[in-house]
Copies of this chain bind each other. A is one copy, B any other.
Amino acid sequence: MSEPIRVLVWGENRHEQLEPAVAQRYPDGMHGAIAQGIEANLGSRVRVRTTTLDEPEHGLTEEALADTDVLIWWGHAAHGEVADEVVERAHRHVLEGMGLIVLHSGHWSKLFVKLMGTTCTLRWRTEHDRELVWTVDATHPIAQGIPHPMIIEEDEMYGEQFDIPTPDELIFISSFSGGEVFRSGCTFRRGHGRIFYFRPGDQDFPTYFHEGVRRVISNGVEWAHTVRPERSLPTLLRYETEDFYNGHGYGGALSAEATAAAEQRATEPAGAE
């Protein structure tokens, strides 16, 4: 009935090229496995594409982002190689209303860090910990159909303190065999966009073939898709008294006189002051 949700899965795709074990584990790339999980769950309700770091503009051109309802981000070893200009662009699209799902090591991506404003650091260990993902918010759409707890037999450990702003909604908390805990499913609203961070998933484990993990990501896609009719960036505007609906563009912080004074001051030789 309604249009399918347009999903773009962004994969860093470096471990797959550099580490044979990862390539074997994820023969279609990690982005490929993630995309297949969404298609398996949502079928005709989505149109899923993938792209990677090595594409021109990392595959995140203005056109590609404008054609995306929900962007999914997996990166790890090459956060620093993502061009600042592309990060700015994706950031703007989120604030305009594009949904964003950040997975696992994407916590340290430039895009997520810019949206959060914090360091997004944590404690970690790769040692075959079992992860139990407990649902804290049973009414949340992202938690529907997920066992309580969801068991992931082996995965990398992430532990608190996770340096993020307090989430708008805390959906999942994970524990690990070693005893650590982590806020592993969190939502954030920023501008007109909805963001879902989900912890599980690592290049060293087959996490993105786990049925429950795939279901959570799929639920996240449906949740992050905006209900607003069109995208727009929040903008600063002046409104006259009793005219609530017609804002004027911003004309600068200074009066005409002060602007002239400022300009004059700037052109005077420094010694004149």
Footprint of B on A, CB under 8 Å?
A: 1, 14-15, 17-19, 76-78, 95, 97, 105, 108, 114-119, 121-125, 127, 129-130, 132, 134-139, 141, 144, 147-149, 151, 159-163, 165-166, 168-170, 173-175, 177-181, 183, 188-194, 226-229, 233-242, 244-245, 247, 252-255, 257-258, 261-262, 265
Contact = CB atoms under 8 A, between A and B. Distances in A.
Nearest 4 A/B pairs, CB to CB: A77-B253, A163-B234, A121-B236, A18-B258
A178 B77 contact: no
Given A108-B236, A134-B160, A149-B244, A181 B189 contact: no
Contacts of A17: 265
| Copies, count | 4
A255 to B, nearest CB: 7
Contact of A247 (B77, B123, B192): B123
A209 B125 CA distance: 33
Contacts of A237: 123-124
